[in-house]
Chains A and B, each alone.
Chain A
């Protein structure tokens, strides 16, 4: 009963969303066809769709660029974020290092990180290595800072409880500090992956050789705006996939922060325990 009652307004809302979206697109299309909208600024939606069809299906020229860019994003992200978490933990757990590193962290925070791109290209040379190095660098900071603050901000009351029950340093780290830090670290990873996507684009804009950033640049230079927009909307889809994927990963890894994850892992552990106990008895 209630489910049906809930569904009707939800449906109506979705319909309103669709109506607004479609009328916007229709107005845009009509305006573009009639020549009221400058095709340089607002290429017709039908032209953008046609470009999608052309670059994905007919010419298939976006695929290699997409592959190159995504490969670089994940490689750079993996290296950069592992370094970030590792160094963040080392620095966070060591008060002396932390105190002396803090001013540098503040200075690095204020520097537009992407601005080191030309320096890295000069140092490493053109090509994939320098791109990975740039992505590594932009991926490093968010996990580093978040791990650092996650490790430092330990709940004092709980720490006291752990100590008074005679927990060892390792136990405190493993069972108190890390579990509390994981959600913050995951938030940092999410920021890093988004930054990686921007990082690869900037690297490709500067090097202008291959990848989705270079493709956008080429299309824009030729004033082929529909194709440029098709590439940008592709990036919207990738950005959305990253956002959703990281959300799911977050719920899986930091399972204790949400009800459903807690139940899932609890059940699995109970089942494992039951089979173990059963094996011992039988």
Chain B
């Protein structure tokens, strides 16, 4: 622990040093862009000044705070839709992995669902579930279903004959084989599927908002761009990017926690913590 702090500080310094050229380039590009508009080289109203976009961001987030209710709604739609889609996808994939007939007779329908562009269902889903959040959640669930389903099923279907024999020769029940061998082996692929699914769910929520909605970042952006208020439109677009990044890194974090054995550093940390817990348990 004593040496942990300086190491971290050095690492942060190195990171900053590595980021410097990137930041420099970004600032340079933005400055060039700003200059091109101020000097009149670009006159289109379609291209706002970077300072105007930053101003719009500050306005939306801090001064007026108009974006917050929309931000929350879109985030909630994406997360709830993802949760519903993932729950259905994972249970169907587990059922398919456990039962051959189920897999044989249900999987083809999942494939048919996959080749249909889920987006095509937007108007129908809005007719079914109304203009509110329900239809956005439903569309997000529909289009995030397939990547999760297919990855979970692929993960659960990979069989390692050697390991299974080892498990059986040590007297493992089929239940043990499933829970302690096949499920852990499937987890990395499952998380990869969930990362795709989560981004897809956000797309579903936003598209449904474009089509018909009363609130959400998509609605906000649609309104701004119909008014040709490009600075605010781009600020709304950047907000969607922000939601996307938040969701992606949340899932990445979860992946890191749950599938700890794939990264050496996390593996060591977890095994140390377990050893400590074990020693403490034995000592008492």
| Alpha-carbon distance A229/B221, docked complex (angstroms) | 30
Given A202-B210, A217-B123, A220-B126, the answer on whether A122 and B203 have CB atoms closer than 8 Å is no
User: Would you call B127 and A123 a contact (CB within 8 A)?
Assistant: no
Q: Give the interface segment out of B110-118, B168-176, B274-282.
A: B110-118
Our count of residue pairs bridging A and B at CB distance below 8 angstroms stands at 124
Task: Tell me the minimal C-beta distance from B154 to chain A in angstroms.
Answer: 15
Chain B binding surface, main DSSP class: helix
Complex partner residue of B120 from A100, A201, A206, A223, CB under 8 angstroms:
A201
Q: Collect the chain A residues with CB atoms within 8 Å of residue B128's CB.
A: 40-41
B237 proximal to A (CB < 8 A): yes
Inter-chain contact A225/B218, CB cutoff 8 Å: no
A189 to B104, CA, bound (A): 29
Query: Which residues of A sit under 8 angstroms from B22, Cβ to Cβ?
Result: 100, 103
Asked if B245 and A13 make an inter-chain contact with CB atoms under 8 angstroms apart, the answer reads no
A116 proximal to B (CB < 8 A): yes
Whether A213 contacts B120 by the Cβ 8 Å rule is yes
Residues A122 and B225 in contact, CB atoms below 8 Å apart: yes
A58 lies within 8 A of chain B by Cβ: no
Which among A110, A213, A223, A236 is the interface contact of B112 at CB below 8 angstroms? A236
Contact A205 B210 (CB under 8 A): yes
Q: Assess whether A232 is interfacial by the CB under 8 Å rule.
A: yes
Q: How many residues on chain A are close to B (CB under 8 Å)? A: 49
Contact B225 A236 (CB under 8 A): no
Chain B CB within 10 Å — which of A13, A103, A239 has the most? Answer: A239
Mark out the residues of chain B between 117 and 145 whose CB falls within 8 Å of any chain A CB in the assembled complex.
117-124, 126-128
Q: Taking the nearest CB of chain A, how far is it from the CB of B30, in angstroms?
A: 13
Q: Which of A109, A116, A206, A236 contacts B116 (CB 8 A)?
A: A236
Q: Is the CB of A111 within 8 A of B244?
A: yes
Interface size of B as a range: 35 or more
The listed residue with most A CB atoms (<10 A of its CB), out of B104, B120, B245, is: B120
Asked if A111 and B237 make an inter-chain contact with CB atoms under 8 angstroms apart, the answer reads: yes
Given contact pairs A107-B245, A202-B210, A197 touches B202 in the complex (Cβ within 8 A): no
Closest 7 CB pairs of A and B: A239-B115, A110-B244, A220-B123, A118-B225, A122-B225, A236-B116, A111-B241
Given contacts A119-B230, A121-B225, 13 further A-B contacts (CB under 8 A): A17-B108, A111-B241, A112-B203, A112-B206, A112-B240, A116-B237, A122-B226, A201-B119, A213-B120, A216-B120, A216-B124, A220-B123, A239-B115
Contacts A/B (CB < 8 Å), 12 sampled: A13-B104, A16-B105, A112-B199, A112-B244, A118-B226, A119-B230, A122-B46, A198-B117, A201-B120, A225-B127, A232-B116, A235-B117
